[in-house]
Amino acid sequence: MTSPKGRDRSAPRGALRRRAIPYFLLGPGLIWLLLFFVVPLYFMGRLSLESGSLETGGFEFTWEWSNYGHALGDYQDRFVRSFFFAGSATVIALLIAYPLAYAIAFRGGRWKNALLFAVVAPFFTTYLIRTLAWQTILSDDSPVVSTMQTLGLLGDGGRLLATDGAVIAGLTYNFLPFMVLPIYASLERIDVRLIEAARDLYSSARTAFWRVTLPLSAPGVVAGTLLTFIPASGDYINAEFLGGTNQAMIGNVIQSLYLNLRDFPSAAALSFTLMAVILIAVFIYIRFAGSEALMGEEAEKAK
C-alpha cells in the first residue's frame, strides 16, 4: 500500500513529465530548423557583409553594408517586376481557385476525390518539366499561337513566349494548387446549415455568399495567397524558360550572381533584401486581411 507521502512525491514528477511532453514533441522540428534554416541563414548573413572576389584571393568579412545599397539601387526594376509578376499570378490564381474549390466542396459529390486528385496531379511531374511543357505550348510554332493568329487575337508576327503574360501564366499554373487546397479546406469545414439558415431568413444566394460563405472561408484565402505569392516572388524558373531578358526576375539575378559571376556577397545581400521585403509585405497583408480571417474563424467557432 502506497503511503500519502509516496503519492506526494510521485505527483510532481508526473506533472513535470506532462509539461515536458510538448517540448519533447517540438524537439525534432526545432533541431531541424536550427540545423537547416538558422545556421545557413547565419552564414548567408555573414557572407552578405563580406568584400572581395574569388580572383583577388577570396572574400573577407568587413561589415560591407554597401552590398545592400547596391542590391536596392542596381536591381530595383527587377524587384518591382518580381512583385508585379507574383502579385498578378496570385490574383489570377485566386480568381480561378475559389470557384473551383467552391464547386469541389459543395457540388463535387461522388467526384470530389477525383477532382481533388486532378488538382494535385501536376505535382507528380517535376516543376522543371511542367515549365518546359509550357514553353512548348507557347512556342512560336505551336498550335496555340497558330490558332490565335487565325482568330485575329495575335498578329502575324506576334508571339506568346518571352512576354510578361507567358511568365505570369507559368507562375499561375505552377502555384495554382497551393491556392486551391487551402480554400477547399476552409470551404469543406463550413456547416451548410449556416448557409441554409441565411436563406431561410430571406437572404439571396449572393448575400448569403458574401455574408456567410466568404467570411468563413477567409482563412483559406489568406493562406492560399501567402502560399502562392511568397514562392512566386523568388521564382526564377518561369522567367528563365518562358521569358526573355526583359522578363528577368530578382531570382534570376541571384542565380546569376551565385553560379555565373560568383559574386557571393552581392547575391547573399540580394537574398536577404528579398526576404525582408517579402516579410514586410506579408506582415502588412496579414495586418489588414488577417482580421477578416479571424472574424471568419470566430464565426465558425460560435456556431
Please answer whether residues 243 and 225 qualify as being in contact, where contact means their C-beta atoms are separated by less than 8 angstroms: no
Nearest CA-CA partner of 82 in 282, 295, 278, 226 = 278
Please answer whether residues 191 and 303 qualify as being in contact, where contact means their C-beta atoms are separated by less than 8 angstroms: yes
pLDDT tens readout for residues 46-96: 999 999 888 877 888 999 999 998 888 889 999 999 999 999 999 999 999
> Domains of the chain: which residue ranges?
73-301
Q: What is the pLDDT of residue 302?
A: 47
Q: Cell 522543371 appears where?
A: 128
Q: What is the pLDDT of residue 74?
A: 87
pLDDT tens readout for residues 294-303: 444 544 454 4
Which CATH entry fits the domain spanning 73-301: 1.10.3720.10, 2.40.50.140, 3.30.1380.20, 3.20.20.10? 1.10.3720.10
- Poorest-confidence range of 10-19, 22-31, 209-218? 10-19
Q: What is the pLDDT of residue 84?
A: 96
Please answer whether residues 177 and 97 qualify as being in contact, where contact means their C-beta atoms are separated by less than 8 angstroms: no
pLDDT bucket at 119, cuts 50 / 70 / 90: very high
Please check the confidence at residue 157 and state whether its pLDDT lies above 80.
no
Please answer whether residues 101 and 187 qualify as being in contact, where contact means their C-beta atoms are separated by less than 8 angstroms: yes
Please check the confidence at residue 265 and state whether its pLDDT lies above 70.
yes
pLDDT bucket at 203, cuts 50 / 70 / 90: confident
Please answer whether residues 154 and 200 qualify as being in contact, where contact means their C-beta atoms are separated by less than 8 angstroms: no
Share of the chain above pLDDT 70, in %: 90
CA 132, CA 265: separation in Å to the nearest integer? 31
Please check the confidence at residue 6 and state whether its pLDDT lies above 60.
no
> How many residues in the chain?
303
For the record, the C-alpha cell of 234 comes out as 523568388
Q: What is the pLDDT of residue 11?
A: 60
Q: What is the mean pLDDT of the chain?
A: 87
Please check the confidence at residue 4 and state whether its pLDDT lies above 70.
no
Q: Taking the CA atoms of 291, 297, 302 and 303 in sequence, report the sign of the dihedral they define.
A: positive
Please check the confidence at residue 239 and state whether its pLDDT lies above 70.
yes
pTM over 0.75: yes
For the record, the C-alpha cell of 91 comes out as 490574383
pLDDT bucket at 292, cuts 50 / 70 / 90: low
HEC secondary structure over the chain: CCCHHHHHHHHHHHHHHHHHHHHHHHHHHHHHHHHHHHHHHHHHHHHCCEEEECCCCEEEECCCCHHHHHHHHHCHHHHHHHHHHHHHHHHHHHHHHHHHHHHHHHHCHHHHHHHHHHHHHHHHCCHHHHHHHHHHHCCCCCHHHHHHHHCCCCCCCCCCCCCHHHHHHHHHHHHHHHHHHHHHHHHHHCCHHHHHHHHHCCCCHHHHHHHHHHHHCHHHHHHHHHHHHHHHHCCCHHHHHHCCHHHCCHHHHHHHHHHCCCCHHHHHHHHHHHHHHHHHHHHHHHHHHHHHHHHHHHHHHCC
Nearest CA-CA partner of 173 in 121, 130, 229 = 130
Q: What is the pLDDT of residue 290?
A: 60
Nearest CA-CA partner of 179 in 89, 258, 260, 246 = 89
